[in-house]
Structure 1
Amino acid sequence: MKVFNKQRFQLMKGKQFQKYLVYAIGEIILVIVGILIALGISNWNQEKQLENANKDLQKKVLVQLDKDINSVEDFQKDIDSLHQTYLKVLGRDYDKTKVKDGSMLSTVLFEINTLSLDKHLNNLIENAKLDDSDASQELIDLNSTYKLYLKNFDDIENIIYEKMKNNLAEIERTQPWYLELITDFTCRNDCINYLLKDEGHKARIASLRFLFVNGYGNLVDGFREDLLLAKSSLEAIISK
């Protein structure tokens, strides 16, 4: 810049205004170029930081996906065990190895098995600044998948809860042994005979089995398959 200042003074002194104007424009261009270069470097740094942050996010999502897939697979085993218990109550063939000893009464009357998943993965994606990469689009789709299934799980759980509540209400209304059952958790012969042989009760249990196995269970099966596909797709994109 000192060179330009010295040259400018000489040109003004010599009244060579036209040449001075050229040099002045040259100075302006150099300043503009310098600013553009600085902005370019700043933008490149920001893009690089965003890219690195997204790569870190993708790794975290894959870790959480593995945890959620394991939780879903464990729950599928619980659903299978519950299915066998319902089959036993309904007098159908069942796998004895999958029925927990001493748990039939509480399972049939009181327990509501649910898939325990938090919203950690959703929070990871929704709180991140995503770039416009294919991997980011995959994360957006995955977030939508989670939201859809979690809403469906909540709906079916509410239906099951109402069904179990109505079953207990019917027993309370019609069976004298209900007081002993609900107070002392004791189920004598008249209680056992009702639970295993009463056709009205068995019909209600059949509906619960259908809701758990064919409703909830099928949703969980589909969720697992979609998570596995999402994981495979995300890994393929990242490895490119």
Structure 2
Amino acid sequence: MIKFFRKVRHKMLTENKFSKYLIYSIGEIILVVIGILIALSINNWNEEKQQKKVLNNIYATIKADLQQDIKNIDKIVNSSQPLEKDYLAIINKKKRRF
């Protein structure tokens, strides 16, 4: 492919068709720029996809941690309810004495 373009350029320059060569070179530059822009957009798309995966992993970890925290809080609350009843009974007995 590179040989083909080299031959076309050489042919245009040897035939003194500078205007055609100029149009050809501008077209080639535009194609290169389009290729670079396509490559950049694919790269950005891949990076966004990877960032979404990372965010989803973080969200899943946070969700699991919160669920575990809720279970722990429920255990603490359930274990403290009998103590609360005992404390209230003691407080009520002391109030009656006074």
Higher helix share: 2
Match of residue 81 from structure 2: 80
Amino acid across the alignment from 2:23: V
1:46 aligns with 2:47: yes
**For the aligned residues, what is the CA RMSD?**
1.9
Match of residue 33 from structure 2: 32
Match of residue 56 from structure 1: 57
Quick one: distance in 2 between partners of 1:77 and 1:24?
A: 79
Quick one: distance in 1 between partners of 2:86 and 2:25?
A: 90
**Structure of higher CA gyration radius:** 2
Give aligned pairs, total.
96
Q: Percent identity?
A: 38
Q: Give 4+ residue runs of structure 1 displaced > 3 Å after superposition.
A: 196-199
Residue 52 of structure 1: how far off its partner (Å): 1.1
**Aligned residues of 1:11 and 1:19 also touching (Cα < 8 A):** yes
Residue 28 of structure 1: how far off its partner (Å): 0.5
Quick one: distance in 2 between partners of 1:70 and 1:24?
A: 69
Residue 90 of structure 1: how far off its partner (Å): 1.4
Structure-1-length-normalised TM-score: 0.37
Structure-2-length-normalised TM-score: 0.84
Q: Identify the structure with bigger relative contact order (alpha carbons < 8 Å, sequence gap 6+).
A: 1
Quick one: distance in 1 between partners of 2:83 and 2:60?
A: 35
List runs of 5+ in structure 2 lacking aligned partners. none
Residue 78 of structure 1: how far off its partner (Å): 3.3
Amino acid across the alignment from 2:55: N
